[in-house]
Structure 1
């Protein structure tokens, strides 16, 4: 676990500091409060980094969360504190979250949580899952999911659009005068 790792130094320490600076206690607290509404756990919903890590590190609460959103998402939740069993729980959560609609770019790697590498990405994943929970009739958090906005155009409107010249092609109006290719520069 993270307690037994050597401290990062040099450019790695700078990179880790940049990752850690993105973490926001208020967003993490909102996320933990949402988890408590769905699962009844944890007792402490403080958003500080250490509390979030201690609450989620074994993955059991994460598995209970996806099962609260859609029953049976994770078939077996390991209760053991052995490292590989805890990481298996986290991985089961991530697979279930993807099936519930969380985009892969908004998930995290197991090691981000297990070794306390990037708790910001853990919160991002949980916020994304919180948006998707509304699709399953559960309370949601974060910004509302966008709704489809299909637009229908008539054949006449489509043909009229073909005659419009985009401003990306430029224009020949208001050109500077006095510029001529081939002239030499006088000093």
Structure 2
């Protein structure tokens, strides 16, 4: 676990401090309250990083969360506190979240939660899952996901765009005096 690791120093400490500075207690509290609405747990919905870590680190609540959104998403939830069993729970949650529609770039690595390396990415994943929960008839959190806006253009409209000369090609409009390219010829 994270408490058995040596403290980071130098550039690694700076990088970790930058990651930790992104964490937002208000978002953490909003997410824990949303989880409580769906699962009935946890008792303490304080959004500070230590509480979020303690509540989510073994992965059982995360598995219960995806099962509350769609029944049977995680078949087996390990109740053991052994490290690899807890990391299996977190990994099972991540796989279920991807199946529920969370994009891979918004997920986190198991180690980010288990060793408390990047709780900000955990919050991003849970917010994304919160947006997708609305698709399954459950309460959602965060900004509403955009609706699809498909546009159909006719062949005539598409071909008319080929007759327009882009300004990237230059223009003969306006004054061009004073424009030079390269060095002048020295005689």
Mark yes or no: TM-score above 0.5.
yes
Matches of 1:164 and 1:184, distance apart in 2:
35
Change (3 A) 1:28 1:178: closer
1:60 counterpart residue number: 60
Matches of 2:170 and 2:17, distance apart in 1:
45
1:123 paired with 2:138, answer no
Matches of 1:139 and 1:80, distance apart in 2:
30
Matches of 1:109 and 1:16, distance apart in 2:
16
Shift of 1:171: 2.1
Change (3 A) 1:162 1:2: same
Matches of 1:48 and 1:117, distance apart in 2:
15
Deviation sequence 1:97-151 (CA, Å, 0-9, x none): 0111111110000000000000000000000000111111111111111111011
> What are the residue-to-residue correspondences of 1:168-187 with 2, within 5 Å?
168-173=168-173, 174-177=175-178, 179=180, 183-184=184-185
Deviation sequence 1:139-168 (CA, Å, 0-9, x none): 111111111101112222222222112223
Shift of 1:180: 6.8
1:20 paired with 2:6, answer no
Matches of 1:180 and 1:156, distance apart in 2:
39
RMSD: 1.6
1:84 counterpart residue number: 84
1:69 paired with 2:69, answer yes
Matches of 1:100 and 1:110, distance apart in 2:
18
For these two proteins, the number of residue pairs brought into alignment is 186
Unaligned runs of 5+ in 2: none
Unaligned runs of 5+ in 1: none
